[in-house]
């Protein structure tokens, strides 16, 4: 059973557009003195308000392009993106605990 030709075209178009967006952003991790050029990911400065897994590759890259045009993303290597996302989640959890919201048990 082979892949659907239209699906393959969409996948290739998404890859082409992703590569173009990475090149437009400079093709290197934007975190200070990191010069990594492979395994780059789009990082939303204030988190994103959409779920990537609910979109096709082509829909996701269209969102990334729109977010880039609005100045909402930067390009990071995987380790820097993971560290940034982890810190952002930790700050959000800490805020929810302080406000008494969320599913936290009091000690």
Each residue of 24-58: pLDDT tens digit? 999 999 998 899 999 999 999 988 888 989 999 99
Range of the domain at 89: 9-99
The answer as to whether 75 is a domain residue is yes
Query: By the 8 A CB rule, do 22 and 40 touch?
Result: yes
Instruction: Give me the pLDDT at residue 97, please.
Output: 62
The answer as to whether 83 is a domain residue is yes
The answer as to whether 45 is a domain residue is yes
pTM of this prediction? 0.73
CA distances from 62 to 16, 53, 55, 92 (A): 12, 14, 10, 27
Instruction: Give me the pLDDT at residue 107, please.
Output: 37
The answer as to whether 4 is a domain residue is no
The answer as to whether 44 is a domain residue is yes
Q: How many domains are contained in the chain?
A: 1
The answer as to whether 106 is a domain residue is no
The answer as to whether 80 is a domain residue is yes
The answer as to whether 34 is a domain residue is yes
pLDDT interval class at 88 (50, 70, 90): low
User: Which residue has 């390009």 as its token pair?
Assistant: 75
> What mean pLDDT comes out for the span 51-75?
95
Smallest CA-to-CA distance from 35 within 80, 72, 68, 65 is with 80
């Amino acid at each position: 059973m082979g892949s659907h030709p239209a699906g393959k075209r969409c996948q290739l178009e998404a890859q082409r557009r992703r590569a173009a967006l990475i090149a437009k952003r400079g093709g290197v991790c934007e975190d200070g003195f990191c010069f990594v050029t492979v395994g780059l990911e789009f990082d939303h400065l204030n988190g994103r308000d959409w779920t990537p897994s609910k979109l096709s590759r082509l829909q996701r890259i269209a969102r990334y392009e729109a977010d880039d045009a609005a100045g909402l993303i930067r390009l990071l290597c995987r380790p820097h993106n993971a560290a940034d996302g982890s810190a952002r989640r930790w700050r959000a959890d800490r805020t929810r605990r302080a406000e008494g919201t969320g599913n936290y048990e009091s000690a």
